[in-house]
Homo-oligomer: A and B are copies of this chain.
Amino acid sequence: MSALQILHRDPGSQARAGVLRCSHGEIRTPAFVPLATKGTVKGLEAREVAALGYDMVLGNTFHLFLDPGPDLVEHFGGLHDFMGWRQPIITDSGGFQVFSMGYGTVADEVKGRAPMGPDRMGRVVSIEEDGVRFRSYIDGSERFLGPETSMGVQAKLGSDIALVFDECTPFNIDRDYTARSTERTHRWLDRCLAWHDEHGPTGQLVYGIIQGGVYEDLRIESAQQVAARPVDGIAIGGSLGADKAQMYEVVGWSIAAIDVARPRHLLGIGDIDDLIRGVELGVDTFDCAMPTRLGRHGVAIVPEPDQRWRVDLTAARHREDDAPIMEDCPCPACRNGHSRGYLRYLVKNKELTGARLLTLHNLAYVARLMAGLRGAIAAGTLGAYAAAQRAGAAP
Contact = CB atoms under 8 A, between A and B. Distances in A.
Contacts of A76: 322, 339, 341-342
A246 to B, nearest CB: 35
State which size class the interface on A falls in: 35 or more
A230 interface: no
B346 A39 contact: yes
B353 A45 contact: yes
A43 B322 CA distance: 22
A352 B72 contact: no
Contacts of A339: 76, 82
B47 A345 contact: no
A339 B76 CA distance: 9
Contacts of A332: 45, 47
A336 B43 CA distance: 16
Contacts of A346: 38-40
B353 A40 contact: yes
A52 interface: no
Nearest to A38: B349
A312 to B, nearest CB: 18
B341 A43 contact: no
Contacts of A357: 45
B46 A336 contact: yes
Interface in A176-213: none
Copies in the complex: 2
5 contacts: A38-B351, A42-B353, A43-B353, A68-B319, A82-B342
Nearest to A321: B76
A69 to B, nearest CB: 10
Given A38-B349, A42-B351, A84-B336, 5 more contacts: A40-B346, A40-B351, A41-B353, A45-B356, A47-B336
A83 interface: yes
Contacts of A83: 342
A107 B72 CA distance: 41
Contacts of A338: 84
A47 B335 CA distance: 11
A67 interface: yes
A351 to B, nearest CB: 5
B68 A337 contact: no
A320 B42 contact: no
B38 A336 contact: no
A355 interface: yes
Interface centre among A39, A47, A332, A346 (most CB of B within 10 A): A39
Nearest to A337: B84
A72 to B, nearest CB: 7
A339 B83 CA distance: 9
A44 interface: yes
A75 interface: yes
A39 B345 contact: yes
Nearest to A296: B352
A40 B337 CA distance: 14
Interface centre among A72, A339, A352, A357 (most CB of B within 10 A): A352
Nearest to A63: B349
Contact of A84 (B39, B47, B342): B342
